Amino acid sequence: MDFLVNKDIQNKNGIEYCRKSTESEDRQAFSLKDQHDVNFKVAERYGVKVKKSLQESMSAKKRGRPFFNEMVASVESGKYEVIVCWALNRLARNSVDGAMLIELMDNKKLHAILTPGKVYYNSGDDKLLLQIEFGLAKKYSDDLGPTVLRGMYSKLKRGWYPGPAKPGYINRKEKGEIIQVIDEERFPLLRKGIEMYLEGARVEHVLELLNDKWGYKTIQTEKTGNKPLSISSFYRILNDSFYFGKIVWNGEEGELNPEVPKLVSEKEFWDIQRRLGAKGISRPSKHMEVPYRSIIKCSECGSAIITYPKIKKLASGETVVYLYAKCSSKKHCTQKHISVSKIEKQLNEIVKTVEVSQDFHDWFLKWLKHDHQVETTETEVLLQRIDAQIEIQHKRRNNLFEMRLNGEAVEVEYRTKKEEIEVEIKRLEKERAGVKYASDDWIKRAEKRINYALYARDTLENGDYLQKSSVLSDLGSNFLLKEGLLFADIDPMLAVFKKHYEIVNKDLIGFELEDKLLNQANSEILKSWLGDRDSNPNRRDQNPQSYR
């Protein structure tokens, strides 16, 4: 029971674990020496006797770290009662290793995990926090691949095309961001050609004028360019909505920054499409907006499930709109259509299992911000170090320039050294931006999920079609429809709330951040759940109820 937990760790035998990965997941982490120094100061402050120190240079995304396994075996054998580490993400970035440590607590083998920011004791509330922390560490690791995409989507939302410059434009770096500006040489020529096409000239004739009479040449790059505009490239320009200000990238849409001149107006763009006929693109129809379009997949054939309205006119003259969902495949798929209301009913039941109380939501945000304050110390130190390294490189470049002026460096040597220094400066600036982003990104993701758990059901009932679609897409991944039943892999963070539903929906009024969060009964419930948990409760072959 939590109120009987022994929080005295003084004179306990401890084992220190330090880890530094060479992969991108840990580029912002302290060095092994820095972790070791901090760990020993913390252990000394709490009076923990560190009997052994293990240092490992491996990723924690997968199982099989030799020193980690040695540490677990040593704790299980009773040699050590406390693990000392710089942060929980040093211990685990996968669900199995994190679960092993919590199981050691369940079996009374592990007394506590000591970090600079907090001591995690063998108690119900601390084990819940461990599950959340390990879940965040795994989510961060899982999200590293999509991190680049998120950066691209963020750029798209700010009104910039996240890719190579389109013909008629060039990419320019301003204030650390790549933006689009018009190509003063080629933009006027393309505009002149499009005006001729709108006036009735044929594509072939416009292209001939562009290349042969006006001297249009593509931009010279390292491997290609400085060539006439091809007919296929010209058709792509005529078909591209970017030129009137609508950016489409990787399935997402955005509006081009209003300060960037447009090659055509929207009206001109659709006039061009009408002229192109079969080679143009169809203008979107003014149909009714329906939620969940193309988010769910058909379990039988893998095609997208599309949603559509069906209008029925009653005998009274009144018109009623029914919303349905069906597989978009034109193959012989046997799955039948289903009403959207039935999907929403199932979605509501799933969302209900991951909701949290207002009290827990408020407490969680308070705990999250407290935890983030500890993490920001690392970021500040790292940024100071990187800034110092950048300053050193700038001084090197200035000194090199002075040497060149004084004739102490020949031209070839000067250019080579200067290029090396500039490459290093760019690398450090990129590293600095990555550290800053990583510092703020994880707390935003955690806040998004706790807000989802509180507000999702209300949004589902009262939101518009876009908000309802977000409720589904933010729930998790791998949405499948099979014989009218909705299946999904719930987001790992939300799955923790689902597993501890009764606890996260208890009233916590009056509890401060340092106080006991759960009463005796709640702790017993939590203990029983942790006792029979599996390492991945969301796998479909283990626990179908986790996604239905």
Q: How many residues does the chain have?
A: 548
Q: Which of 54, 79, 82 is nearest to 69 (CA)?
A: 54
pLDDT tens digit string along 98-109?
889 999 999 999
* Residue ranges of domains in the chain: 11-154, 169-279, 287-386+420-499+544-548
In angstroms, rounded to a whole number, what is the distance separating the alpha carbons of residues 425 and 443? 29
Tell me if 11-154 shares its fold with 169-279. Answer: no
Strand partners, 253: 248
Residue 214, CB-side half-sphere exposure with 13 Å CA sphere: 20
Crossing angle of helices 266-276 and 187-198, rounded to 10°: 60
Residues 398, 401, 402: CA angle, nearest 5 degrees: 90
In angstroms, rounded to a whole number, what is the distance separating the alpha carbons of residues 57 and 19? 6
In angstroms, rounded to a whole number, what is the distance separating the alpha carbons of residues 490 and 479? 9
Instruction: Give me the CATH code for the 11-154 domain, please.
Output: 3.40.50.1390
Distances (CA, A) of 419 to 245, 335, 422, 428, 445: 37, 61, 5, 14, 38
pTM of the predicted protein model: 0.41
In angstroms, rounded to a whole number, what is the distance separating the alpha carbons of residues 326 and 337? 4
pLDDT at 532: 37
Strand partners, 305: 327
What is the number of other CB atoms lying within 10 angstroms of the CB of residue 167?
21
Place of tokens 């539903």: 501
Angular region, 441: left φ>0, alpha ψ -120 to 50, beta rest: alpha
Which parts of 381-521 are beta strand (E)?
Answer: 476-482, 485-490
In angstroms, rounded to a whole number, what is the distance separating the alpha carbons of residues 376 and 408? 45
**Residue 162 in contact with residue 149, Cβ under 8 Å?**
no
pLDDT at 508: 52
Q: What's CA 44's distance to the chain center, in Å?
A: 38
| Structure tokens, 540 | 């479909």
In angstroms, rounded to a whole number, what is the distance separating the alpha carbons of residues 69 and 77? 12
Which three-class secondary structure state does DSSP give residue 52? strand
In angstroms, rounded to a whole number, what is the distance separating the alpha carbons of residues 544 and 542? 7
In angstroms, rounded to a whole number, what is the distance separating the alpha carbons of residues 314 and 300? 35
pLDDT at 490: 87
Distances (CA, A) of 278 to 203, 243, 272, 273: 14, 20, 12, 9
pLDDT at 142: 55
In angstroms, rounded to a whole number, what is the distance separating the alpha carbons of residues 202 and 216? 18
**Residue 31 in contact with residue 19, Cβ under 8 Å?**
no
In angstroms, rounded to a whole number, what is the distance separating the alpha carbons of residues 520 and 256? 57
| Structure tokens, 232 | 């296929």
**Residue 390 in contact with residue 429, Cβ under 8 Å?**
yes
Q: Can you list the residues of the chain whose pLDDT is less than 50? A: 1-5, 24-25, 27-28, 144-145, 147, 285-287, 509-548
Q: Which of 271, 263, 323, 265 is nearest to 293 (CA)?
A: 323
Q: Which residues contact 431 (CB under 8 A, 6 or more apart)?
A: 27, 386
Place of tokens 């001729």: 196
Q: What are the start-end ranges of the H helices in 107-258?
A: 124-157, 187-198, 203-208, 231-239
Q: Which residues contact 304 (CB under 8 A, 6 or more apart)?
A: 294, 296, 297, 298, 327, 328
- Taking only Cα atoms into account, the Rg of the chain, rounded to an integer number of angstroms, comes to 30
Rounded to 5 degrees, φ, ψ at 85 are -145, 160
Crossing angle of helices 124-157 and 492-499, rounded to 10°: 150
Q: Are β-strands 82-85 and 13-19 bridged in parallel, bridged antiparallel, or unpaired?
A: parallel
Longest CA–CA separation in the chain, Å: 96
In angstroms, rounded to a whole number, what is the distance separating the alpha carbons of residues 16 and 387? 31
Classify domain 169-279 at the CATH superfamily level: Putative Large Serine Recombinase; Chain B, Domain 2 (3.90.1750.20)
